[in-house]
Structure 1
Amino acid sequence: MPLGNSHTTYGSVTKTFHWLTALLILTNLGLGIWATNIAQAIEAPDVETTDATVARATFLFSLHKTIGVTVFFVALARIAWAIVQPKPGLLNGDDPLEARLAETAHWLLYGSIVLVPLTGWVHHAAATGFAPIWWPFGQTLPFVPKSEYVSEFASTLHYILQWVLIGTIVAHVAGAFKHHLIDGDATLRRMLPGHGGAEPTARQPGHVLPVIAALAIWAAALGGGVWLGWFPERHAGAATAASSSAESDWQVQSGTLAIEVMQMGSAVEGRFSDWSADITYDETPDAEGRHGDVTVTIATPSLTLGSVTEQAMGSTYLAAETHPTARYEADLVDRDGTLMALGTLTIKEQEQPLDFPVQLEIDGDTARASGTAVVDRRSFDIGGSVNDPSSLGFDVTIRFELTATRATE
């Protein structure tokens, strides 16, 4: 069998690309459905997550992503080979409608085997807390930032385009069997190993209308996604405004309360959008070095934590429905020239001591404060069924920064 194509036959290289691509895509579609079903079960707020379940989902997603990247590069090589080879003509060129539909399907297939894995790759590169691609070249992509919005947008594109690909594959396979079983021509046989070619019809469809039709199908699919509201809205990621009660010596004007946890070897950051801080503070400490105190009240349902936000609200994690409020109460004390917050953090009615240094700058009646603390999620019965830190880290880093003004009499 010759390596290259002729005007009547497909060569062995083209046939190898065709069947390898088909095998990879069909395998990956099954893996993607399997992994997604497990992930949805994990993310369900009332389903207990185990190390074995997380490990299984991680393995399947890593395999899915690795095969997806393989499809992308195989597709590029296949397209490059097709460009330099003659394309055997259709055997049904005398039927203009069927011939143009067949060409449209070919354009959709070639475009989709590039776009579907590429959008999945962008989603992966923009996300945090992911199952890694199994290769030594890193997990990022040039010009793709770490962004929840970019990740969700690319994920939506990936989801929509995969259905275009699936629909096109179904139509392509149906057409091949129609040629073989009804028309009795060699369209299917000439793509099988060991089989020769067949003389194409003199009349062949052009490329302009099939290309326009393929673009229209992609546009319709994406437009449908927009109409259904599948694409994410862009939200500002700036610091959230915090409120403070009127009884405080200092009124919080703005600030950010964030957490960070390691998931599957990658840092995942979340933010609380609803919290308040009641602060009393005097620059001159008392005899025990005490400057004042602070009480921070946090609405746990206001946490956003990327793709696992819903899971974080569940009963085995923050239990936001039954425990909607977390609280931190501390004294502000001078310890050898360092301002320390010495207090107690309460989450899900579990109290644990929490002390950490506070960086404070006061300029007139304006104060800027920041600090970082680390807690063990297990101390608050959060994610207790996940005991493998490579799946979900034990340490949770808490960071805050705020700007406050001195209350006037």
Structure 2
Amino acid sequence: MSQARGYTSAAKGLHWISGIIWIVAWIIGFVAVHWRDEMNPTHFLTFLHKAMASTLILLVILRLAWRVTHPAPRMAETMSRSMQQAALVGHWLLYGIALIALPVSGWYWSSVADKPIMVAGLFLLPPLVDADEGMYPTAKAIHTYVGWFCGVLVVGHIAAALKHHFIDRDAVLKRMLPGGSH
């Protein structure tokens, strides 16, 4: 398969939709846990967090299918070899941890807690495992620590994109913007 010249509109759309949902779900999850009594007494924020985050699982499947059939464009020639390798590792970490491990760890936590997950408010995800009160603290810790690590990854991804745009003044960010150059 040949290397693409630029990102397709579908790839850009999936990127931005996934990114926005991820960030909003992360913020809602943070608020739902840390201000549970004040801002989440009815657990509506928890429901919303789960509905949004579980939707990411479906979007990731679409993104991976799209990527397999539509290769990513070459990295900018202005990037050093080590910067290109760092970008590749960063993107794999974002896919593997932020878009797969984090939603699955939340699904696992909900499963051991015997709490349902409605995908986009449309249908229930089946539990990954049987309910197990003894695993609740471990499942919560896994999801929490993975969430914080992902927050750092996403902030790093955004910072790198802004660095390319404002400091390096190359087209890396523009290539992913809707209507941006290929």
Report the TM-score when normalising by structure 1. Answer: 0.41
State the alpha-carbon separation in 2 of the partners of residues 96 and 6 from structure 1.
Answer: 18
Query: Residue 41 of structure 2 aligns to which amino acid in structure 1?
Result: V
Kindly tell me: are residues 175 and 122 of structure 1, through their superposed partners in 2, closer, same or farther at Cα, counting changes over 3 Å?
same
Match of 1:102 among 70, 80, 87: 87
Secondary structure at the aligned position of 2:41 is classed as helix
| 1:35 corresponding residue in structure 2 | 32
**Conservation of the 8 A alpha-carbon contact between 1:28 and 1:67:** yes
| 1:121 corresponding residue in structure 2 | 107
More RCO (CA 8 Å, sep 6+)? 2
Q: Max radius of gyration: which structure?
A: 1
Counterparts of 1:299-338 in structure 2, within 5 Å, are none
| 1:54 corresponding residue in structure 2 | 41
| 1:141 corresponding residue in structure 2 | 127
Instruction: Work out whether 1:176 is the aligned partner of 2:173.
Output: no
**Conservation of the 8 A alpha-carbon contact between 2:107 and 2:117:** no
| 1:397 corresponding residue in structure 2 | none
State the alpha-carbon separation in 1 of the partners of residues 178 and 3 from structure 2.
Answer: 15
Match of 2:15 among 9, 18, 26: 18
Q: Deviations over 1:56-99 (max 9, x none)?
A: xx111000011110011111211121111121011047512211
Instruction: Work out whether 1:9 is the aligned partner of 2:6.
Output: yes
Q: Deviations over 1:299-326 (max 9, x none)?
A: xxxxxxxxxxxxxxxxxxxxxxxxxxxx
The percent identity for this pair of structures is 29
Structure 1 runs not aligned, ≥5 long:
43-51, 198-409
**Conservation of the 8 A alpha-carbon contact between 1:132 and 1:139:** yes
Secondary structure at the aligned position of 1:188 is classed as helix
**Conservation of the 8 A alpha-carbon contact between 1:126 and 1:150:** yes
State the alpha-carbon separation in 2 of the partners of residues 185 and 53 from structure 1.
Answer: 43
State the alpha-carbon separation in 1 of the partners of residues 48 and 101 from structure 2.
Answer: 19
Query: Residue 59 of structure 1 aligns to which amino acid in structure 2?
Result: F
| 1:250 corresponding residue in structure 2 | none
State the alpha-carbon separation in 1 of the partners of residues 151 and 111 from structure 2.
Answer: 24
State the alpha-carbon separation in 2 of the partners of residues 77 and 167 from structure 1.
Answer: 24
Shift of 1:136: 5.4
Counterparts of 1:9-408 in structure 2, within 5 Å, are 9-39=6-36, 41=37, 54-55=41-42, 58-92=43-77, 95-112=80-97, 113-128=99-114, 130=115, 133=118, 135=121, 137-138=123-124, 140-142=126-128, 144-197=129-182
Q: Deviations over 1:312-364 (max 9, x none)?
A: xxxxxxxxxxxxxxxxxxxxxxxxxxxxxxxxxxxxxxxxxxxxxxxxxxxxx
Higher strand share: 1
Structure 2 runs not aligned, ≥5 long:
none
Kindly tell me: are residues 38 and 139 of structure 1, through their superposed partners in 2, closer, same or farther at Cα, counting changes over 3 Å?
farther
Query: Residue 174 of structure 2 aligns to which amino acid in structure 1?
Result: R
Report the TM-score when normalising by structure 2. Answer: 0.88
Q: How many residues align?
A: 179
RMSD over aligned Cα, in angstroms? Answer: 2.3
Shift of 1:131: 7.0
Secondary structure at the aligned position of 1:54 is classed as coil
**Conservation of the 8 A alpha-carbon contact between 1:59 and 1:131:** no
Shift of 1:6: 5.8
State the alpha-carbon separation in 2 of the partners of residues 178 and 92 from structure 1.
Answer: 16
Shift of 1:38: 2.8
Query: Residue 116 of structure 1 aligns to which amino acid in structure 2?
Result: L
Query: Residue 192 of structure 1 aligns to which amino acid in structure 2?
Result: L
